[in-house]
């Protein structure tokens, strides 16, 4: 394990020389020419971009890809990439007091710093970080450091830590906006939200109560509040279930744009929406987090895949 001594962005080649682990981890250029980490272990293969510290692939040994990535994603610095696991921070969706601020916060389109690559008995752990700077302060005055540690093994573990490096408390929302790959969203179900209250963003954010499993049969954009339970995505087409365990995540967002919503998204193909389902470990709306100076908050999401 080693770490950089400078914040200057390095090329994929330089990062590979510094961090690469022979036969296990390479740093190569992504479709937009920015560095991405490619992991190959007996337990799984995976990919994580420096762009947004976004995981774009996880394929456990003997299983199909678990993470959806749009064929039409834009690979440009400063643009969001459709699919994978974008990080939303410090707000979710639009910023309440600034309609011109980017959706989902200030870090999903930034280039993060590769801190370390560790090969351990669980697989490979990739750590990336980012800190507040003049750009983030233009949109949000707080001082922060974020650390995203992702372990690619027989499970995929995401540990997202927010640190308050300033002298005043701050209030933030966060989400690991995970796009799961499903055989057909119309036959997938989500277990673990029965009886939970949610705000339906497709129906003026009316408060509703989930009864039984979540089934997707129209555009869906639901924020389940006070929802700490594990989730399970049951996928009869790919004949698998994805188990999602959450820690320190008090809300869950479920999203699929359906055909209507897809027409408004230039980076999602019209035949792609049936193959994605977002189920997002998060702390949003009334579950947003208040963080005192010099304190950390860690949210963890761990996923495993089993045959149905």
* Footprint on this chain of ligand TA6 (rule: CB under 6 A): 80, 93, 103-104, 177, 201, 221, 253, 255, 278, 280
- Residue 40 or 205: the one with the smaller Cβ distance to ligand TA6 is 205
Minimum distance between the CB of residue 253 and ligand TA6, rounded to whole angstroms?
5
Per DSSP, 270 falls in state T
Q: CB nearer to ligand TA6: give 104 or 110.
A: 104
Nearer to ligand TA6 (CB atom), residue 167 or residue 204: 204
Least gap, CB of 88 to ligand TA6 (angstroms): 8
* Chain center to CA of 284: 14
What minimum distance in Å lies between the beta carbon of 177 and ligand TA6? 6
26 or 104, CB closer to ligand TA6?
A: 104
Report H helices in 62-175: 134-139
Place of tokens 């370390």: 116
At 239, list the tokens.
Answer: 């004949």
Smallest distance, ligand TA6 to C-beta of residue 294, A: 31
Q: Is 38 exposed, middle or buried (0-12, 13-18, 19+ CB in 10 A)?
A: middle
Q: Are strands 206-209 and 197-200 parallel, antiparallel or unpaired?
A: antiparallel
- Minimum CB separation from ligand TA6 for residue 301, in Å? 14
d(CA 276, CA 179): 6
32 contact partners, CB below 8 Å, separation of at least 6: 51, 75, 76, 77
Identity of the residue, 176 or 303, whose beta carbon is nearer to ligand TA6 in the bound complex: 176
């Amino acid at each position: 394990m080693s770490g950089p001594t400078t914040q200057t962005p390095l090329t994929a080649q330089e990062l590979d020389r510094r961090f690469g682990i022979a036969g296990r981890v390479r740093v190569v250029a992504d479709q937009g020419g920015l560095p991405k980490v490619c992991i190959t272990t007996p337990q799984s293969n995976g990919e994580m971009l420096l762009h947004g510290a976004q995981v774009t692939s996880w394929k456990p040994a003997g299983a199909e890809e678990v993470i959806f990535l749009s064929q039409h994603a834009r690979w440009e610095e400063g643009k969001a990439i459709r699919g994978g696991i974008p990080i939303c921070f410090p707000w979710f969706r639009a910023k309440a007091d600034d309609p011109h601020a980017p959706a989902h916060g200030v870090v999903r389109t930034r280039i993060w710093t590769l801190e370390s690559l560790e090969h351990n008995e669980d697989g490979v752990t990739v750590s990336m970080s980012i800190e507040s700077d003049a750009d983030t302060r233009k949109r949000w005055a707080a001082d922060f450091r974020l650390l995203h540690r992702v372990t690619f093994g027989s499970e995929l573990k995401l540990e997202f830590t927010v640190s308050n490096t300033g002298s005043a408390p701050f209030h933030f929302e966060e989400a690991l906006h995970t796009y799961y790959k499903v055989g057909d969203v119309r036959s997938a179900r989500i277990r673990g939200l029965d009886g939970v209250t949610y705000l339906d963003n497709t129906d003026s954010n009316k408060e509703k109560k989930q009864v039984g499993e979540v089934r997707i049969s129209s555009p869906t954009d639901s924020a389940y509040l006070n929802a700490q339970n594990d989730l399970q995505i049951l996928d009869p087409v790919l004949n698998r279930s994805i188990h999602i365990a959450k820690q320190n995540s008090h809300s869950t967002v479920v999203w699929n744009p359906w055909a209507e919503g897809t027409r408004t998204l230039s980076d999602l193909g019209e035949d792609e929406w049936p193959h994605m389902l977002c189920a997002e470990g998060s702390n949003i709306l009334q579950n947003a987090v208040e963080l005192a100076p010099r304190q950390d908050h860690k949210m963890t999401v761990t996923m495993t895949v089993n045959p149905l």
